[in-house]
Structures are given as structure tokens and as C-alpha cells.
Amino acid sequence: METVETKLSLEDRVSKKMGLAKWIHELYYQNAELFQSDPRYKSLPQFLQTSGISSTFIALKEALDKNRDARETAEQLVDISKSKTKTKKSA
């Protein structure tokens, strides 16, 4: 029996990516709101206010990416473990 892999339609692929874009967009504004609500924010020069928001957003995104990488690595290790268990059982 053959398995046929089909791609998602263009509309589905775009909507999936746009969902991520909307999430990142919302994440940026939540980060900015949190940063601006800090009482020390107003004492910073204008250029540091802007760069501070951007820097914390970049750091947050990097942390999320590392978390995702760790999750993918863990999933790969679980798959390897499962395949070795299957090999031992069949041997």
C-alpha cells in the first residue's frame, strides 16, 4: 500500500503562516505595552525607549526560538528511543 503525500492548498499554507505573523504582531505590542508601563521607561532618552522595546522583543523571540529548538530535539530523541525499542523487540 502506497502512501501519497499531498501538500496543503495555497490558501491553507498562507493562512497557517499568517496565523504565526498575527501572533508575532500581537506579541510585539504586548511586549511594548509591558515595557512602556515600567515607571523607569519615561526617564530614558527617546532612542533608548525605542531600542529598549525592540531589544526586549528580539530577546523574547530568541528565547521562544530556543524553546522550540529544544522541543524539536526532545521529540527527535523520543522518536530515536521508540525506534530502538521497536528494534529490540523485533530482534
Domain ranges of the chain: 33-90
Cα(87)–Cα(91) distance, rounded to whole angstroms? 6
Whole-prediction pTM: 0.48
Neighbours of 28 (CB within 10 A): 15
**Which position has the higher pLDDT, 2 or 29?**
29
Q: 3-class SS at 68?
A: helix
Q: Residue 7: CB partners within 8 Å, gap ≥ 6?
A: 13
Cα(8)–Cα(15) distance, rounded to whole angstroms? 11
- Give 13-72 pLDDT, tens digit per residue: 666 667 677 777 888 888 889 889 999 999 999 988 889 888 888 888 787 777 777 777
